[in-house]
Amino acid sequence: MNFWWILYTIDWVLFLPVAITVAYILFFAVAAIFRTPTIPPKAKGQNRYIILIPAYKSDVRILETVNSILGQTYTQRNFDIVVISCHQSEMINMRLAQLPITLLTPNFARSTKVKALQYAILNLPQFKIYDAVILLDAGNIVEPEFVEQINDAFEAAGTKAFQTHRMARNRDTSIARLDTIFEEINNTIFRRGHQAVGLSASLNSSGSVFDFAWFKRNIMKIRSAVGEDKELEALLIRDSIYIDYFEDILVYDEKTRKVHDFNIQRGRWTYIQLHNFLSNFRFLPLAFMNSQYDLVDKIIQWALIPRTIMMGIVSIMCITLPFIYFTLALKWWAITAIAIFAYALATPDYLVDKNWDRDFLRAPLITIGSLFNIFRAGRDETGARLDAFSHIIHKLRARNQ
């Protein structure tokens, strides 16, 4: 084959999906500008909440989370705290046991967040009745008015699910600052921007609130070892349940400080996105016919190039093409400028400080490393499924004996 024909083909095969992804990001970044956060009115009554906190080798961070929740202004008899402590130290479990919470201590061979949540639901007393469930992670910190704000939002939203605003607890390293920037860009594009045009917001891995009856019924359907928040999101959308977003209800989350952890995290998210697209693509024709625009949007969103991969492709093409065929590089430079503009537009003002330029320019180099961790996330998922299959076979054999 002619070398130039191969080059043109590769160039356009890569450029078109990148351009579509950048256009999607830009559209919702602009839309988010026109969205004014609404403060829900004061609720007339107090609902009953259960706060589920899976904790895996989190040590003192889980104590910080629990203590922040125990200091709530909300009436304490109207919310229960359940910590699912797996592979924690005995000292941490002893300290947790002294607090006015429900402590569950499963000992999974392969611990996952999904298993912890399912274990908690299966071990709740039958007489306990709740209106909603709040999901938090070990290491999350909330303000004293958090549950009170959740109650106001739950009454005002009129929906069975909503997401709160997750912010960074720490910005003490370059990686933590970069993680914070990406988190807030996601909040702008996939939550506030979507909300601005009437589409469902995206769920996060913590700080989400669900109708208790719906959650109890649907959490048991999750089989994936990773990405339970996106599977719950898909179930909500397929049930035509709108996911709201409340920007003024804050959950402070500890950001990763190390490049290796950052890359592992991005690789896992890339795998989750691909998994969700493959799992939900079959629903696209019916979603179009039934005017389920939320579901159409989510499937399109999961079909886009993950931003980690996109940044890697853009960086490589912008650097290498000028030395091969300068003219081809022009459109890559243009799409890069548009992408940077969209990201800058989506970044909150408080993050634009003296470190912003340096940290943001490091992003392409750092995130390329996460591409090598996609297969590790897939391998973990496959291993978890094999473990589950082996457990079923073992139970069948024991029953036959």
* Residue 43: inside a domain: no
**Residue 253: strand pairing partners:** 168
Residue 150: per-residue pLDDT: 96
User: Is 333 inside a domain boundary?
Assistant: no
pLDDT of residue 360: 66
- 399 within a domain of the structure (yes/no): no
Per-residue model confidence (pLDDT) at position 109: 81
The pair of structure tokens assigned to 357 is 């330029």
pLDDT at 385: 43
Residue 153: give the domain boundaries: 49-276
Q: What is the model's pLDDT at position 147?
A: 97
In the prediction, which pLDDT does 368 show?
A: 58
Long-range contact set of residues 277-283: C-beta below 8 Å, sequence gap at least 24: 277/302, 277/303, 279/231, 279/234, 280/234, 280/238, 283/238
Question: Which stretches in the chain have pLDDT values below 70?
Answer: 1, 225, 357, 359-401
Asked whether residue 74 is assigned to any structural domain, the reply reads yes
Write out the H or E segment, with its range, that includes residue 77: none
**Domain total of the chain:** 1
Question: Considering the chain, what percentage of its residues have pLDDT values greater than 70?
Answer: 89
Q: Nearest 5 degrees, angle CA 75-CA 76-CA 77?
A: 95
Beta strands in 102-185 (DSSP E): 102-104, 132-135, 141-142, 161-168
pLDDT, tens digit, for every residue of 42-99?
999 999 999 999 998 878 889 999 999 999 999 999 999 999 998 888 899 999 999 9
The reply to whether 111 falls in a domain is yes
Tell whether 385 is covered by a domain.
no
pTM: 0.87
Q: Which H or E run includes 105? A: none
pLDDT for res 367: 59
Complete DSSP assignment for 273-319? HHHHHHHHGGGHHHHHHTT-HHHHHHHHHHHSPPHHHHHHHHHHHHH
Residue 191 lies in a domain: yes
Q: What is the mean pLDDT of the chain?
A: 86
Task: Give pLDDT tens digits for 309-341.
Answer: 888 888 889 989 999 888 999 999 999 999 989
101 inside domain:
yes
CATH number of the domain encompassing residue 111: 3.90.550.10
